[in-house]
Chain A
Amino acid sequence: MEQLKIKMWLTVIVCVMVLIVAAGLGTVAIEASDIVGIFGHKIFGIELPKDLSANIASIFWTIRLPRAIAAFLVGGALAVTGTVMQSVLRNPLASSYTLGVSSGASLGVALMVIFGMTIPFLGKFSLPMIGFLFGLGTVLLAISMAMQLDKSLENQTIILIGMVLSLFVSSLLTILIVLSKEHLEQIIFWQMGSFSAIKWSHVFVLFVIIVPGILFLMYFAQELDIMTFGEEQAISVGIDMRRMKIVLITASALLTGTAVAFVGIIGFIDLIAPHVVRKIYGASHRIVVPMSALFGGAFMTLADLVSRTIISPSELPIGAVTTLIGAPFFAYVYFNRRSVTKKNA
């Protein structure tokens, strides 16, 4: 128990450090003293140091800082939903993406771009809103179809329906794109995913949805623990499996949908975070869920740091970076665990 506490504190410290490094590094070098000056100016209204250009202040405060925080929030959300979905569906490869969040959101965004619609009063939030609604809608449709077919809502049914629906929606998207080539660029750019152009207004919305969302999922830690043992066990202790699944999957889809809506489709974190976190902290969801949030957040923030600095002034697509760093890391953790299990056996 002591050891676990130390690990958790270390994780928190690492997360804070990652955020500081991500805020401190970028294409443009900004002195630490200047950063302090910018904070003073923005928070306490102290005048900016004379030799500090307004552009540098903008780069730090309007471009870099919201971007780093958004990466942390999105990474956390994706990792937590990955953990929850894997536990709920008892499948090590499941995630909200499996149930069609990404393909649904892509279809929504494509429709909007092609038909040039905007939602009144939402302005720049129109595109995220549509992405979110379509992403969530696809998952809900998958669940309701699964319920029609299978009253007890077996995991296999959910996954199968989810994947079929997801592929179906993707094919609609492909047809749309083929019929309307002039919008190809915008749709592809959106799909590639990016934290570029994320500002405080986006961070605000992300925060308001993601943080309560993660807390909500943490509340079900005990149910998640029991569900991983199997449906029969869960039912025997009085958990309404059907209702629980619907609540947890919907909440996860809501979180993933929000993330995808703002930054596009960024894969891999939802898949690897749960495995890595369980390996380090054990299986109890009371710890695994919050630690997934921190691990995912730190991982995504670092990946975004790499994506915006390694070939600056250019940028690498974030999806490529998460996989590039994540795949070897995952392989290391996975095979390491296997050798440990062998030894024990």
Chain B
Amino acid sequence: MKNLIKKYTMIVLIFMFILTACSSTTESVESESDKISRPTMDRAGNSIEIPEDVQRVISFAPSITQVIDEIGWLDKLVAVDSQSPNYVEAVDELPQFDMMTPDLEALAALEPDIMFVSGMSSAKGDNPFQQLIDLGVCVVTIPSSTSIEGVKEDNQFIADSLGQHEKGKQINEDMQERIDAIAAIGSTIEEEKTIMFEIAALPTIYSFGKNTFLHEMIELIGAKNVFENEEGWISVNEEAAISENPDVILTSVNYIEDAVGEILAREGWENMKAIQNQDVYYIDNGKSSLSNHHIVEALEEMAKLVYPEKYEELK
């Protein structure tokens, strides 16, 4: 019985990964910070052989496309997944492919030197790109990271794969600088506000516990996640949400029109602190859900909304 329940929980969780583009833990790969040489193992632990001269690149995840954009390599992209243009406008003209059911023939015809894919495409179990690999395409898997450290490693890894080690280093240094600025203020906050962060709304509220970069971000700004005793992505029962009675409710739900208004109007929630004080805010979905350097923007957004007076000085 317990096993079955676990199984169902797992199925739901796997579902959430697919829906929110957040994926399982990654085994960290020794970052080759000193050497300029190309990585020989991808972020999922598969051996890879990246060609010396990379000219034609395919990105199969918006988070990866954004990093490539930051590196300044958009002009080397020859195709992207169909979600990427929603986050990086410039790639709108490129051929686009469905992440879950890619047309492998058309992809092969583009003759990419390297193709970046997220864990999402292989969510079904087997590697959907095996045929491309057999054809000699260098397919590099980067499962979405679940920690800020992992996100930085991903950034560096993408840069290294493209032979742009310094650029990767710079992206991460900028990111760390902004994180440090937040942490410097966050660590001085004594009366920590409690936060509930919704990534899916009623009737199926989803939030998260430990081992997620969003949880780390709540702690960085000097606040407390009400579900800190939970692990990973969790569905939240309405009773639990009300009884936790957080000081602030954040939401990154963008599939309904007015996510904040919907929360403020919920029946039975009217006596909660966050509702009475109208402390319910929207955090940009793209910045808070894609695992790359843009999460610092969500971090700053969160800091300023939760503690406006403390982070006033922050640019």
CB–CB B235/A197 < 8 A: no
Which of B5, B241, B245 is A310 in contact with, Cβ under 8 Å?
Answer: B5
Q: Does B271 contact A (CB under 8 A)?
A: yes
Give the contact stretch, choosing among A133-141, A237-245, A314-322.
Answer: A314-322
Residues of A within 8 A of B8 (CB): 316-317, 320, 324
Q: Determine the distance from Cα of A313 to Cα of B241 in the docked complex, in whole angstroms.
A: 8
Residue of A nearest to B236 (CB): A313
A181 to B9, CA, bound (A): 24
A308 contacts B by Cβ under 8 Å: yes
Question: A186 contacts B255, CB within 8 Å?
Answer: yes
Whole-angstrom distance between the Cβ of A303 and the nearest chain B Cβ: 13
* B230: chain A residues within 8 A (beta carbon): 313-314
Q: Contacts A196-B203, A320-B8: A183 and B255 contacting too (C-beta < 8 A)?
A: yes
Min CB distance, A109 to chain B, in Å? 13
Q: Determine which of B19, B236, B255, B256 lies in contact with A315 in the assembled complex, contact meaning CB atoms within 8 Å.
A: B236
| CA–CA, A315 and B202, complex, Å | 12
Assembled-state Cα–Cα distance A282/B151 (Å): 63
Give bound CA distance, A189 to B257, whole Å.
Answer: 16
Chain B residues with CB under 8 A of A197: 202-203, 238
Tell me, rounded to whole Å, the shortest Cβ–Cβ distance linking B89 to chain A: 16
B256 cross-chain contacts in A, Cβ below 8 A: 186
Set A28, A62, A184: member contacting B243, Cβ < 8 A: A28
- Determine if A280 is an interface residue (Cβ-Cβ < 8 Å): no
Is the pair A314, B9 in contact by a Cβ cutoff of 8 Å?
Answer: yes
Residues of A within 8 A of B255 (CB): 182-183, 185-186
Q: In the complex, what residues of B have CB within 8 A of residue A53's CB?
A: 271
A315 near B5: Cβ-Cβ < 8 Å: no
CB–CB A63/B239 < 8 A = yes
Q: Give the CA-CA distance A57 to B240 in the complex, in Å.
A: 13
Interface residue range, chain A: 35 or more
**Smallest CB-CB separation from A311: which chain B residue?**
B9
Residues 224-252 of B, flagged 1 when their CB comes within 8 A of A and 0 if not, give 00010010001111111111110000000
Residues from chain B with Cβ under 8 Å of A156 in the complex: none
- A313 near B12 with CB under 8 A, answer no
Q: B268 and A315: CB pair below 8 A?
A: no
Cross-chain contact B270 with A58 (CB below 8 angstroms)? yes
Contact B237 A324 (CB under 8 A): no
Q: A308-B237, A314-B235, A315-B236 are in contact. Are A62 and B268 (CB under 8 A)?
A: yes
Q: Which of B8-35 contact A (CB under 8 A)?
A: 8-9, 11-12, 15, 19
Instruction: Please determine whether B268 and A63 come into contact, CB atoms closer than 8 angstroms.
Output: yes
B41 in contact (CB, < 8 A):
no
Q: Which residue of the partner chain, among B11, B82, B227, B272, contacts A55 with CB atoms under 8 Å?
A: B272
Q: Is the CB of B271 within 8 A of A192?
A: no
A28 in contact with B9 (CB, 8 Å): no
A174 within 8 A of B: no
Question: Is A27 an interface position by the 8 A CB rule?
Answer: yes
A54 touches B267 (CB 8 A): no
Is B12 within 8 A of A317, CB to CB?
A: yes
Whether A59 is near chain B, meaning CB under 8 Å from some CB there, is: yes
Neighbouring B residues of A311 by C-beta, 8 Å: 5, 9
Do residues B242 and A59 form an inter-chain contact, with CB atoms below 8 A? yes
Give complex CA distance A60, B59 in Å: 50
Residues B9 and A316 in contact, CB atoms below 8 Å apart: yes
- Residues on B with C-beta less than 8 A from A61 are 268
Give 1 or 0 for each of A180-217: 1 = CB within 8 Å of chain B CB. Answer: 01111110110010101101000000000000000000
> Would A316 and B267 be within 8 Å (CB), given that A185-B255, A308-B239 are in contact?
no
Chain B 264-276, CB-CB to A under 8 Å as 1, else 0, gives 0001111110000
A312 on the B face (CB < 8 A): yes
Contact B204 A192 (CB under 8 A): yes
Question: B235 — which chain A residues lie within 8 A by C-beta?
Answer: 314-315
The minimal Cβ–Cβ distance linking B298 to chain A, given in whole angstroms, is 19
Task: Collect the chain B residues with CB atoms within 8 Å of residue A62's CB.
Answer: 267-268
B118 to A: closest C-beta gap in Å: 15
Taking a contact as CB atoms closer than 8 A, the residue among B9, B11, B202, B234 that contacts A196 in the complex is B202
Q: Is B135 part of the contact surface with A, judged by Cβ < 8 Å?
A: no
- Using known A-B contacts A194-B203, A199-B268, determine if residue A55 contacts B242 with beta carbons closer than 8 Å: yes
**Which residue on chain B has the smallest CB distance to residue A309?**
B237
- Chain B, 83-101, contact with A by CB distance < 8 Å: what is the 0/1 string? 0000000000000000000
Other A-B pairs, 5, CB within 8 Å; known A27-B239, A58-B270, A196-B237: A58-B269, A183-B255, A196-B203, A312-B237, A312-B239
Cβ contacts A to B, 29 pairs, < 8 Å: A28-B240, A28-B243, A54-B271, A58-B271, A59-B242, A63-B239, A63-B242, A185-B200, A186-B255, A188-B15, A189-B203, A194-B204, A196-B203, A196-B204, A196-B205, A197-B202, A197-B203, A313-B234, A313-B240, A314-B235, A315-B204, A315-B236, A316-B5, A316-B8, A317-B8, A320-B8, A320-B11, A324-B1, A324-B8
The 8 A-B residue pairs with the shortest CB-CB distance, nearest first, are: A62-B268, A313-B240, A54-B271, A197-B203, A196-B203, A27-B239, A58-B268, A28-B243
A-side residues, CB < 8 A to B, are: 26-28, 53-59, 61-64, 116, 181-186, 188-189, 192, 194, 196-197, 199, 308, 310-317, 320, 324
